[in-house]
Chains A and B, each alone.
Chain A
Amino acid sequence: MLDNAWIIPAIPAVSFFLILFFGKRIPTKGAAIGITALGTSFVLSCVAVYQWIDRVESATGGKSSGLAAFGRSLVTHGAETKPVVEPVLHHVTWWSNAGIDFGVGIRMDGLAVMMLFVVTLISLLVHIYSTAYLHNDIRYTHYYAMLSLFSAAMLTLVVADNTLQLMVGWEGVGLCSFALIGHWWEEGANSKAALKAFMTTRTGDIGLLIGVSVLFWAARSFDIGKINAYSLSPRADHGMLLVAASCLMLAIIGKSGQFPLHTWLPDAMAGPTPVSALIHAATMVVAGVYLGARLYPVFWNGFSIGNGGVNFMVLIGGITIIIGALLAFVQDDIKKVLAYSTISQLGYMVMALGAGAWVAAVFHLFTHAFFKALLFLGAGSVSHSGSHHSFDMKKDMGGLRKFMPITFWTFIVGTLALAGIFPFAGFWSKDEILVTAGQSGYDFFLIVGLVGAFLTAAYMTRCVYLTFFGEYRGHGHPHESEPVITVPLIILAVFAVLAGFLNAAAFHIEKFATWVEPRVAFPELVHPAFDYPKAAISLSMAAIGIGVAAFFFFKREKMGKLNGLTERNKVAHAGYMFLVNKYYLDALYENVIVASIRGPIARGCYWVNQHVVDAVVNGAGKGAKATGQWTYDYLDRKVVDGAVNGTAEVTAESGGLLRYFQAGRVQRYALYMFAAVGLLALLLLIANI
């Protein structure tokens, strides 16, 4: 399957067309096609994972198998000897011109198979979940068609071996995100949110386009392997790579919801909850992080990550962690809490990449996919069966743990994993980020990460409290959801618990790193050992966060003066309003930037168009007409016609003159003839004497 991994994106693509054309006519309205397709893709992805693990193990001398012949070579890196495992590459050239090759291909290495596994698993679970969540929905079939198309595009992006194919997948997931967010477009707010998501990510896509072009000019190729090799070679142009890395960073900011283009993610919660789980938690938003991980040597060289010190990537990631976490405190909508939480966690991943913690970032991507999808699907379950399709925690939820035990316990598992509590998955991945940041010289960001951990634990506790504890404030009849919803929750909870152990550094398990970290065209990174003191500090930060928040909520009556602080105190209230208005960023974007473009700038452009451009065009037209008129009057009538008429007149006049010689009398002609003969004879005589 490693060699034929192109089948994995192809199956959902085929299912997209099948659902589109035949979905409405079959009994399950297209869901069966989608589930079958994703199921098959998931199975094939598992095969690919197995094959890759096999490949790595046989090369490194672990449990070997029949694939031992591949990639066996020993490369000395400093004091370590690390066997090189080549990725599996297949490429089909569509057309090539002047040395530039355009084609599609697959680049199967650890990162790709990991992503395949994650994307197909979560997509499959979302497909199954949606049969209940969107039961009797008015656009059920189209929903499944777009889910299949999204899966196909994401998988294309994941297996891509050249930046152009990656860009195709990138744009495809952007389009599907737009379509799925605006699934219930009858509500104006939903279609606005879809447009906002699309436009904001599009702003980032400018960066992607320019970045890919600059990389092509630098490395003379679109192939990812060649680009990475170029970036690490001595002849790499640092300036160009800096430009390329900055442009690609813009793309990551747009797609992965980093500050300042994070504003679309919360609004994207207008879409159906399974969509939020799939796209805006586990897969699409991590496409940016995936880009950073795939083309890491470009960033490594461009941002000089290996030299320590603040660079653009780590700075943006750090800022995003904090602002996302702070905003999650003031949300009443459970999905928005999770959305800001996603922004914050993506900030962790980007910060990790910027600090040189590649394995940590990718591992966090891996674990985050599971527990965030779990949290979103849990919120969906709450809305579906608990709060009568509402997401407002303050108004419609509360005390649901009595009514929805499975949802409650899986949500708790997800929260603990997110908060980073031992031994859940989030602990291992977040901890590795913090440790690597601390040891690579990015001390400030270690502190940022710790603060973020505190905040994460706190806001998630608030969320859990408001949803599951206290008295039920809603109007519906809460009950547990059907198995189609709860079984995926349980599956994801299992992963949320166990996934972390793949790279449990405390137990010296580094399987994830071994399998996933690239060994070809990859810089030499720092791999710190498990640091017990730092782990203890982060664990305690998370515990303190939970404790403070729990105390605040559970023992509200003991808070006394702190209760209602934000309503009484002006400074606190200002801070609260600042957060509620999302740092006034939306106001900045919409009322300042967009309005100014829409208003004055557009009017100015229109004026230029009417008075300058049109003036030039009209002037050209008038000039042409005047020239034509002048040409007609002078050249045509006077000169040309004059010549023609003059010739005719001369001919007539001369004819009139010559007419006198035509007397009609033959003897007259004979006279002329002989006179001429005589003259000629005379001339001959004179000439010859």
Chain B
Amino acid sequence: MTLNNFLILSAFLFCTGLYGTLARRNAVLVLMSIELMLNAVNLNLVAFSAFRENVTGQVFSLFIITIAAAEVGVGLAIVLLIYRNSRSVDLDQADQLKG
């Protein structure tokens, strides 16, 4: 296994997650795509940790997992609030900031 295998895989996952955040209408799906991106980053970190034989990368990936959990919790709370106020989680309809 070369390092590049893991890195290119993580790059693919990241770009896929990027496509999902940009292209999906449902707010929950956008949050899922963000989780994809975070996982890509995690994979990157752990790959480097194995490559350098340094445990720091794994420590940081643990932090990222923790933060991802917190972020999903708060994010879903917000989505619920949006749903309660406008009866829909369609992001195309959340354009009150339109100039």
Contacts and interface: CB of A to CB of B under 8 A. Distances in A.
Interface residues of B, number: 14
Contacts, number: 32
A665 B91 contact: yes
Of B23, B91, B94, B99, which is in contact with the most chain A CB atoms at under 10 Å from its CB? Answer: B99
Interface stretch (A88-96, A166-174, A667-675): A667-675
Interface in A618-670: 658-659, 661-667, 670
Interface string A671-689: 1001000000000000000
Contact of B22 (A661, A662, A667): A667
A2 B22 CA distance: 117
Of A658, A661, A662, which is in contact with the most chain B CB atoms at under 10 Å from its CB? Answer: A662
Nearest to A655: B99
B22 A670 contact: yes
Nearest to B93: A665
A657 to B, nearest CB: 11
B27 to A, nearest CB: 10
Contacts of A659: 99
A661 B97 CA distance: 11
A662 B97 contact: yes
Contacts of A674: 18, 22
B30 A667 contact: yes
Contacts of B53: none
B21 interface: yes
Contact of A664 (B22, B30, B96): B96
Interface string B1-35: 00000000000000000100111100000100000
Contacts of B98: 662-665
Nearest to A661: B99
B4 to A, nearest CB: 16
Interface in A10-61: none
B91 A666 contact: yes
A664 B95 contact: yes
Contact of B97 (A658, A664, A671): A664
Nearest to A660: B99
A351 B92 CA distance: 124
A664 B24 CA distance: 16
A664 B91 contact: no
B91 A662 contact: no
Contacts of B22: 667, 670-671, 674
B21 A670 contact: yes
Contact of B91 (A658, A661, A667, A671): A667
Contacts of B95: 663-665
Contact of B21 (A664, A665, A667): A667
Closest 3 CB pairs of A and B: A662-B99, A664-B98, A664-B95
8 contacts: A659-B99, A662-B97, A663-B95, A664-B98, A667-B21, A667-B22, A667-B91, A674-B18
